[in-house]
Structure 1
Amino acid sequence: MSRKRYTRSFLFAVIIIVLSAFYTLPYYVTKPGMAQELEPIVEVAGGDDAEGSFMLTTVRMGKANIYGYLVAKMSKYQELYPEDAIRDTDESDEEYSERQLHMMDGSKNSAIKIAYEKAGKSFSFDYLGVYVLGVIKGMPAYGKLKPGDQIIKVDNKKFQSSAEFIEYIGKKKANDTVLVTYMREDIEKTVKISLQAFKDQPKKVGMGISLDDYKKPITDPSITINTDQIGGPSAGLMFSLEIYNQLTEGDLTSGYQIAGTGTMSEDGTIGPIGGIQQKIVAADKTDAEIFFAPNEKGIKGSNYQEALIAAEDIDTDMKIVPVDSFDDALDYLHSLEKK
């Protein structure tokens, strides 16, 4: 082969490789993320410092290109998921991101509520309006509202919950028009939106949004949690432990590096999460000594059982602790001898 033909072939191959790296497949790939110390993220006014650390654990996720797909197929702790297993039908990237960030906000709210109530500190919620999670294509709100908007009034009527909002809209008829007052990027706006029957529920009318409550915790002492762009609800348990530790005297960590995961409900129940084995790998790489895993009341295939399998496989010295509630985690921490 002549030098010129070889050069052309080589350049062509390079171009194909580069272009294929930007071509994404209809899959998401997840892999172990990191274990991140919470004390720099959570700040309770006048809160105590700790000798050890509470850490949230994350899973990295992104769209799979050809090479990412092949690597995930060959990797034990990387997983592939079809797009429809991650995002709702017709959900855009923006809507998915907004949903994940809102879930993180809900996780923080539940964690704050549990920690402040358990510590005997002042806590309440200030209801701010209806949070728009997504907008259904083809429905009247499409192109008028967008994910992240905060509806504060409809027809000059304020609501104390999203349930009240749904009840009000539900009494309307198809083709009725409502005046929606909402906040977008701290600017108040108004828009008229007609109502329409849903295709899959012809007796039900609406503007075509998925929604949730938007509320702000009011606390004494004050608290600030800076999560930047971390999304999802899985850090609820670890947030609640860090907040409680700062609110109360003494050091719950007893000097240990403690990681974990699990959703937190407002009654203190810990719920399961995805990617538990990848989080075990992430925590082990950060030299965590203890890991709290949702026990799910001991059901077969629980997060705790899956965590044990991964822990044994990677031969970690990290102790895996099953928990069903915030009180379970507290009881274990109170039993620790100081390191």
Structure 2
Amino acid sequence: MGRVTDDPTPPARRRGVRAAAARAIDDAQLARPRLALTMLVLLCAMILGGSLLPVPYVIERPGPAIDVLGEWEDEEILVIDGAETHPTDGSLMMTTVSVDGGPGYRVTPVEVVAAWFDRSKMVLPREAVFPDGQTREQTTLTNTAAMSTSQQDAVAVALDELDIEYRDVVMIAGVQEDGAAAGTLEGGDVIVSVGGRTAGDVQGYRDLIASVPEGEDVEMTVRRDGEEKDLQVPTELVDGTSRMGVILAEGHEFPLDIDIAVGDVGGPSAGLIFSLSVYDELTEGALTGGHAIAGTGTIAEDGTVGSIGGIRQKMVGAEESDAEFFLAPSANCEEVVGYEPDGLEVVAVGTFEEALEATTTIAETGTVEGLPTCEDVTP
């Protein structure tokens, strides 16, 4: 049988202990809502802060579709001097992509998640679009040089079609804003000689520039606006090699002056539309038959139409700009099938000749009947 022992604690003391315990319980119960509220506020702050932190992605979205036969920012885009031009009609639209999150800019998780649910946008890892460590200035220079080279090749393709001769040269495709040659050389300068010596290609002139002792100026002759200029061009040591801070490229000197101005739009993907536009203005009649035709694709000197990025966004931009037809590089067709905007007829083209045939057919019939679609060329 167990024992029962009386509590030796005095009654008054027991009452005091119970009261203290009750107060502690009450205080704890009162503290819980305050603690919970504090934790909620902290959690919300963390979520909000996290949603505003930059993430290593870029978002591609539809950019403007620009009629090369018209104006952009109150300036005529295509100007040809030195040859007879002809009035035209309709539109030949170069299409563009706007990229959020490039060098110098960042996107947030909220923007990325929203873009994932928008079929008109594309989310890509940043390094897939911009080389690691590339600055905003370097990106601008690269895009400007690519646009310049694209325009040169586009004009060459159009003139080849018209049997107009021209000369191959090495040119300054772009000048870095803070580079050694800034303020001395200009984009479009044709290289005549470096240090009194000539070279037959881009690499030859690179080697001549690289052979300049560190910190020394180099004598350089260029042809600018048809006139030769003798220049003293500064150099600087970059990664152990003398550099001017320019991009050299294969180019052409034409027997007529052709200027294509599209503001700060860069990159090579408008080459095909540039070629068609130059051809249109140098031939009688309206190549489009009055229709609104958009398109994209790089153009090689042999007339090959190359693949580009952002084809789905460009089709959306074309449709939003009231284009009726769209010329898409055959190499991009796998990305096109199933994503064609309603009301936009898409034709697959692999060469300038095919694009010219497609445009002529549309002008004559107002349809794409008999022309290859992306479904036709996709396995």
Kept in 1: contact 2:173–2:249 (CA 8 A): yes
**TM, length-normalised to structure 2:** 0.67
Alpha-carbon distance between aligned partners in 1 of 2:49 and 2:166, rounded to the nearest angstrom: 54
18, 28, 35: which is aligned to 2:65? Answer: 35
Amino acid at match of 1:309: G
Q: Look up the match of 2:139.
A: 96
More strand by share: 1
Q: CA deviation at 1:143?
A: 6.8
Q: CA deviation at 1:181?
A: 5.0
90, 107, 114: which is aligned to 1:65? Answer: 107
Q: CA deviation at 1:273?
A: 0.2
Rg: which structure is higher?
Answer: 2
Q: CA deviation at 1:229?
A: 0.4
The answer to whether structure 1 residue 295 and structure 2 residue 316 are counterparts is no
Bigger relative contact order, structure 1 or 2, given CA contacts below 8 A and separation 6+? 1
Which of structure 1's runs of 4+ aligned residues deviate more than 6 A?
A: 16-21
The answer to whether structure 1 residue 317 and structure 2 residue 343 are counterparts is yes
Alpha-carbon distance between aligned partners in 1 of 2:138 and 2:99, rounded to the nearest angstrom: 16
Q: Look up the match of 1:300.
A: none
Q: How many residues align?
A: 298
Q: CA deviation at 1:169?
A: 5.8
Kept in 2: contact 1:261–1:294 (CA 8 A): yes
Q: Relative to structure 1, is the Cα distance of residues 181 and 114 closer, same or farther in structure 2, using a 3 angstrom cutoff?
A: same
Indicate the RMSD between aligned Cα atoms, in angstroms.
Answer: 3.8
Give me the identity figure in percent: 27
Q: Relative to structure 1, is the Cα distance of residues 259 and 158 closer, same or farther in structure 2, using a 3 angstrom cutoff?
A: same
Q: Look up the match of 1:226.
A: 261
The answer to whether structure 1 residue 282 and structure 2 residue 325 are counterparts is no
Kept in 2: contact 1:54–1:242 (CA 8 A): yes
Q: What per-residue deviation string (whole Å, max 9, x for no partner) do you get for residues 203-232 of structure 1?
A: xx6659684327464233x32211110101
Q: CA deviation at 1:306?
A: 1.8
Q: Look up the match of 2:159.
A: 116
- 161-170 or 236-245, larger mean C-alpha shift: 161-170
Q: What per-residue deviation string (whole Å, max 9, x for no partner) do you get for residues 14-38 of structure 1?
A: 9x989976x6433221101122111
- SS of equivalent to 2:66: strand
- SS of equivalent to 1:109: helix
Kept in 1: contact 2:214–2:235 (CA 8 A): no
Kept in 2: contact 1:131–1:149 (CA 8 A): no
Q: CA deviation at 1:124?
A: 3.2
Q: Look up the match of 2:204.
A: 164
**TM, length-normalised to structure 1:** 0.74
Alpha-carbon distance between aligned partners in 1 of 2:131 and 2:50, rounded to the nearest angstrom: 28
Q: Relative to structure 1, is the Cα distance of residues 230 and 72 closer, same or farther in structure 2, using a 3 angstrom cutoff?
A: same
Q: CA deviation at 1:234?
A: 0.4
Kept in 1: contact 2:287–2:360 (CA 8 A): yes
1:149-188 alignment, distance < 5 Å: 154-168=194-208, 179-180=217-218
- 52-61 or 327-336, larger mean C-alpha shift: 327-336
Q: Look up the match of 1:190.
A: 233
Q: CA deviation at 1:87?
A: 1.9
